[in-house]
Structure 1
Amino acid sequence: MKKTLSLVAMLAGTTAMAQDLPQQSSTWFTDAQATLETHLARTPNTGTAKNVIVLVADGNGVGTNYATRIFMGQQNGALGEEWVMPYETPEFHSALVKTYNINAQTPDSAPTAGALNTGVKQRFNLINLGEDAIHDDCSTVEGNELTLFSEIVSDAGKSVGIVSTARITHATPAAVYAKTANRNWEDSVPEDCTAQVDIAQQLLNAMEAGTIDFAMGGGGRYFLPEGVELGGLTGRRADGLNLVERATGLGAQFATDQASFEALDLAADSPILALYENSHMMYEADRADEPSLAEMTKAAIEYLSQNENGYYLEVEAGRVDHANHAGNAYRTLTDGVAFAEAAAMADELTNDEDTLIIVTADHEHAIAFNGYCGRGSDILGLCMGVSQTGVEHDGTPLTAADGKPYTVMGYLNGAGSVLIEQEDGSYSGERPEVSQDEATDIDYLQQALIPMSSETHSGVDVAVYAKGPWAHLVDGTLEQNYIFHVMNHAVNPQ
């Protein structure tokens, strides 16, 4: 008969064993023990969150984040796999997040961002309307408008800011302030639509109401009349409205490039509107004459911190998503690194005692990873063989059944499809040869299977990382709309 040990005896025996194991001198072992001690020392922060910062890397699911981690590590001279992103440290609590929409297995950015800002899941292509609203049907707007986290905290006296490398009227940033039956109504609505105005006007309405204090991103074309030029921007509004003039008439400071960004008075009490590029801001790999995501995050925190009541800030790395859609891993990962640097900046400039930081994504992409690659294989390049004696890969590209090498990263669909449309409309083809130099080029499109003009999202879970007051509530596998409830509880614990 087996003897039953007391819990104390079991724990004591485990401790003794850990001290005597032959692997105890291994760095892997000692590092894991140190991580265990850090986790054991954690105590829940049940204070009130004066500030809430939500950082969203659009399209940065667990796969994309994995690739960015390796890329960032390799850019810093490491093999890559062992790298730790700024938000992956033991100080952050973490969970998995289910991202589906009310009516979609594979989600869209508008309702996923809306779920973060309202606490309820929403319908595909709508922003911040209840489940009875119908996409593209303006008549269903009235009576279905949802209350936003920005409105809740603004009514409580806090300031609100938005930063994005996408158009500031694009789905994720718009979810902070807009309510619309179509995410694409950025500068106009149908002629018979009287229940709402376009998203750009809604931003100015929110700024005039005092809900939005700081807005910085791309999309200048939606704020100026058609043909009007200002600071490198060219308007395309058909209704003749000049929303930049309206903003400056409210006393807002305005910026359009690096110089005007640096000239902003972040200590002033006036709102700030900054619009770089006519559409989205540049990819980080191509950026010129406009601030980085980390610089914009720093400016937003410095400005919003003037409010003694605190603030809510949403920061979006919108172009991670766009590069994934293009099937271009290089720009995906360089924008992913820029996001990590912005997250690190937010953490550095704030106090864990009074600031809840949440790092997450709205959805994943149809990204895939190939082969049994050896350690340190360039995440952008070819899958190299596993070394039998060393740690790093053996330097020999692995080949598929067709005898050709393949990249570590690929996509299940997209513009890089190996299937080519023929004259009769059918698709066929042979997978092209690819070299290491070709695969690591900035403009290379990863090989994909299904031909698509734009690679699609995926319904796979994303991760969420949290630090600060009530961050311990981020745990397990969560519905995406739950994150709002953590934020709302943190600013007003019951």
Structure 2
Amino acid sequence: MRPFVVALVASVAVPAIALAQLPVSASASDPYYKAGEAALARQLAVVPNTGRAKNVILFLGDGMGVSTVTAGRIYDGQLKGVDGESNSLAFEKLSYAALSKTYSHDTQVTDSAAGITAIMTGVKTRNKIIGLTGAAIGEKCETEKGNAVQTLAELAKANGKAAGAVTTTRVTHATPAGAYAHTAYRDWEGDSDMPVEALQAGCKDIARQLVEAPDALRLDVVMGGGRSRFLPEDKDGKRADGRDLTAEWLKAEGTGSAYVTTVDQLKALPADTQHVLGLFASEHLPYEVERPVLEQGVPTLAEMATTAVDVLSKNPNGYFLLVEGGKIDMGSHLGNAKRTLSETVEFSKAIEAVLAKVDLKDTLVVVTADHSHGLVISGYAPRNSPILGVSGNEGEPAIAADGKTYTTLMFATGPGGPLGSDTRADPAKEDLDDVDYHQQAVVNLPSAAHAGEDVGVFADGPQAYLLRGVVEESYIFQVMRHAFGFDGAAPAGKKR
């Protein structure tokens, strides 16, 4: 046995000798190596905050998959005139990150209704359903009874905190509705959107649920579009019941409340304002690329979000705030990467503006998406090539098998897909920077489909360190609830 032992010892010693004989490395002077050292130093300096959160802010980039984040960071950098590939969006600088599994209770690929329900309640449900368990059935009013689940916003209000929701979509749209509504169908935004049977059975439209929520649970701040769902037809609304829900909201909130419809009114809010309903468009707010033409006094997402923080911060007990970049998703549904990326950049700007106002010592900030989209980044375009341009190969435009170029960004499905025997257009002969350009797609659909891969979660503040690894989308709720100290406060269902 002795020769074997000697051989083993000798083999262990070999690596040490080899290491000692390594030549001098050029790594230390390499900029990538030095950047990596700096990044490691920053991470080593991070100390997990295990305290309780006074405030929780959830930023939801609707449809903002990993490829959208990547393309968005490149686009953002190129707009700024810096290296896009190594650029970082505001939320990518947060200390913690994870991946979220987004499947719904009944589908591999979730919609926004089921996605926000998972994040806001900890319960996965069926597509098209908001604030109800998976026992509820889409468009079946009778299945709402007994299946409602508490949202984090409702828990915050019940525990004496303020709560709000800000969006670039209608405030009755799926994601913002996820803060306060419980409905068997996401499209029941106003009474004119509902079938007679559902109304007769006692189900409420989403706008009514916002206004008629009990005083102790009603949101303090709501801002976005969707004015039509709150006003009767004689006031340019779509309500069939003749009610003016904006007036009813003001009456219910009483002293210290304000209803605003323009950015100037938003900026002129009295200092003692504690409740704000801001409806800045009849439907969704305009895309940022349309702001020069369609602004019409509409505030940016950053202006709405920072104002919401100012108003909600007046509650000494703290607050919960949901901020949605809702038109990221809508740009992708159009197969229009320029709108998608522009909205992603604006979403990042809103996060940056809010981060400048809050203290991460007592405020948990979570940034995520409800689902991904079929946007892909492919080819070998040279570094610093326009992200909206054609792909490349060793400095030359990449040529596909049909002899035509293709763009770096494409969609799996959408309006840019082929129809019948149509031949593929050559992107090199098109204006790829046109705001209405539709990236090419594999399959033609009038509206691009969501995608089912995991999405990113970025976080900082109290208990943010619990967001790591690969997690269920519904787990995000558990971390936010735990950060607030509401553990054990949310039953699986509540009576309605």
Contact residue 274 and residue 312 of structure 2 kept, 8 A = no
Partner residue, 1:466: 459
The CA deviation at 1:271 is 1.4
Say which of 327, 341, 350 aligns to 1:333. 341
> Alignment partner for residue 348 of structure 1, among 341, 356, 376?
356
Q: Distance in 1 between matches of 2:284 and 2:53?
A: 32
**Is 1:221 paired with 2:228?**
yes
Sort the Cα spacing of 1:19 and 1:312 in 2 relative to 1 into closer, same or farther, 3 A.
farther
2:325 maps to 1:322: no
The equivalent of 1:302 in structure 2 is: 310
Give the one of 13, 22, 25 matched to 2:29. Answer: 25
> Structure 2 vs 1, CA of residues 454 and 493 (structure 1 numbering), >3 Å: closer, same or farther?
closer
**1:402 lines up with 2:433 in the alignment:** no
Counterpart of 1:180 in structure 2 is 183
1:63-462 maps to which residues of 2 (within 5 A)? 63-89=67-93, 91-188=94-191, 189-193=194-198, 194-206=201-213, 208-228=215-235, 234-250=236-252, 251=254, 252-265=257-270, 267-287=271-291, 288=295, 289-386=297-394, 394=395, 396-417=396-417, 419-420=418-419, 427-435=420-428, 438-462=431-455
For 1:468 and 1:164, how far apart are their aligned partners in 2? Answer: 23
Taking structure 1 as reference, are residues 124 and 385 closer, same or farther at Cα in structure 2, changes over 3 Å only?
same
CA distance in 2, matches of 1:50, 1:5: 58
Structure 2 distance, partners of 1:349, 1:50, is 14
**Quick check: 2:220–2:275 contact (8 Å CA) kept in 1?**
yes
CA contact (8 A) 2:158 2:216 kept: no
Partners in 2 of 1:59 and 1:349 — Cα distance? 26
Q: Deviations over 1:351-390 (max 9, x none)?
A: 111000000000001112221221112111111333xxxx
Q: 1:3 to 1:202 in 2, by over 3 A?
A: farther
Q: Which runs of 5+ in 1 are unaligned?
A: 229-233, 387-393, 421-426
The residue number in structure 2 matching 1:484 is: 477
Aligned-pair Cα RMSD in Å:
2.2
How far residue 19 of structure 1 moved from its aligned partner, in angstroms, is: 12
- Give the distance between the partners of 2:66 and 2:250, measured in 1 at CA: 41
CA distance in 2, matches of 1:19, 1:47: 48
Is contact 2:334-2:448 (8 Å) kept? Answer: yes
Deviates more, 1:193-202 or 1:143-152: 193-202
Q: Is the 8 A contact 2:258 2:273 kept in 1?
A: no
- The residue aligned with 2:491 is none
Q: Match of 2:492?
A: none
Which residue identity is paired with 1:441? D
| Counterpart Cα distance in 1 of 2:11 and 2:111 | 53
In the aligned structure 2, how far is the partner of 1:412 from the partner of 1:68? 18
- 1:188-247 superposed Cα distances (whole Å, 9 cap, x missing partner): 23333334310000111237444300000010100000131xxxxx20111111101112
Number of equivalences: 467
Cα distance per residue 1:48-90 (max 9 Å; x no partner) = 100000000100010111110110011111231111111112x
Q: Distance in 2 between matches of 1:292 and 1:269?
A: 20
Q: 1:428 to 1:4 in 2, by over 3 A?
A: farther
Which one-letter code corresponds to 1:260 in the other structure? Q
Per the alignment, do residues 29 and 208 of structure 1 end up closer, same or farther by CA in structure 2, a change over 3 Å counting? Answer: same
State the shift of 1:5 in Å.
12
Q: Is contact 1:169–1:219 with CA below 8 Å preserved after alignment? A: yes
User: Displacement, 1:3?
Assistant: 4.9
CA gap 1:18/1:300 in 2 versus in 1, 3 angstroms: farther
Q: In the aligned structure 1, how far is the partner of 2:73 from the partner of 2:338?
A: 13
Matched with 1:424 is none
TM-score (norm 1): 0.91
TM-score in terms of structure 2 length: 0.90
Does the Cα contact within 8 Å between 1:382 and 1:436 map onto a contact in 2? Answer: no
3-state DSSP class of the match of 1:192?
helix
Instruction: Pick from 55, 58, 63 the counterpart of residue 51 of structure 1.
Output: 55
User: Partner letter of residue 446 of structure 1?
Assistant: Q
Deviates more, 1:163-172 or 1:361-370: 361-370
SS at 1:88's partner residue?
helix
Is the 2:274–2:314 contact (alpha carbons within 8 Å) kept by the matching residues of 1? no
Q: Which amino acid aligns with 1:262?
A: K
